[in-house]
Amino acid sequence: MATPAKKNHFKRFWWAYLLAFLVVATVVIVPSVLLVAVPRSAQQRLNAAKLAIDGIAITNTQTDSLAIAINSTIRADDSVHATVDPFQGTLYLADVDPPLAFAQIDFPQTSSSSLQTVNISQEMQVLDIGALTAFNTALLSNETLSVQVKGDTHIHVRGISRAYSATFDKTMTLNGLNNFEGLSISDPSISALSTNNNFNATAHIPNRSILTLEIGNTTFTTYFNGSEIGQATINNLVLYPGSNTFPITGNIQQLPIINALTQEPFCKLNGTLPFELSGNNIVNDGQVIAYFRDALTATNQSVTIDLSEAARRIGIPVGCNTTSSG
């Protein structure tokens, strides 16, 4: 039980006890806020930010390097004024387990604005051609694919000198090329007498993605009825989002085509024949682009070509031959 002397002491020096309590509270609470609450809140706000990719351009493709430009926007909570340091972000193909790192890009400094444009343009060395090929194969083959962007950085909150470690980690769904579904060939012309450049036409290639791809001179192996019949080439192939049109030339074995136009079972198709194309080689400015070539080789593209008018122009009948018995 407190004695009268102790009570009087407390009454006389209450302010000292209060000051001591405030000092202790400051020593305990403020560091807890600065070391735990603030960085946790900063990471949560970074996690809540929304990254949207508006466009990607892959240009100046070379054997061991390429140029990449990314246009993006970030939407974030701007109630706390903060900046995020520049950092190196790793791009992962997130549809495989574990996610496959295929590229690294440099993100600039960003702020906590509610809407901010983030544009990136840089030369990129191809550090892992197998991983980049795997990404390109997924891009070509799928209707959609998931890409993860992850990197370590620091956040600066206005009014606090300390920089807080944080991780930028976003996964986005991008449209793929879906194996060029909708690929078509129009205005074909064929030569029955020549073995060189004896096929010419116009190729219409859809690009449903947001990527612009500078591919280069692209050669396809051409198959008909399961057999290789020659090669077709598109020069200076650059795919832009949307519909793309290119001249396509080929060195094609004509006999299998003529037989198909006039003999069963394909003669019943009235001149419209099914073909398969498989990537054979890609060269851009004299350099082989293996990370595109091998992606095109991994899967065949199907296309039907109406050769009826082209055949008639060179005197080849279209349709099944009929014979009469006497």
Cis peptide before 265 (omega within 30 of 0): yes
Q: Once rounded to an integer, what is the mean pLDDT over residues 180-199? A: 87
Answer yes or no: is pLDDT of 38 > 90: no
The CA distance from 33 to 37, in Å, is 5
Give residue-wise pLDDT tens across range 92-146: 999 999 999 999 999 988 876 678 888 999 999 998 999 999 999 999 999 999 9
For residue 197, give the DSSP letter. S
What gap in Å lies between CA 292 and CA 211, rounded to an integer? 14
Spacing of C-alpha 167 from chain mean position? 22
Bridge partners, residue 231, by sequence: 221, 251
Phi (first) and psi of residue 6, to 5 degrees: -65, -40
Are 237 and 279 a contacting pair, CB within 8 Å? no
Antiparallel, parallel or unpaired: β 65-75 and 227-239:
unpaired
State which amino acid sits at residue 238: V
Tell me: the pLDDT tens digits for 140-170? 999 999 999 999 988 887 766 677 788 889 9
Answer whether residue 21 shows pLDDT above 50.
no
Q: What are phi and psi of 115, to 5 degrees?
A: -145, 125
How far, in Å, CA of 256 to CA of 315, rounded? Answer: 16
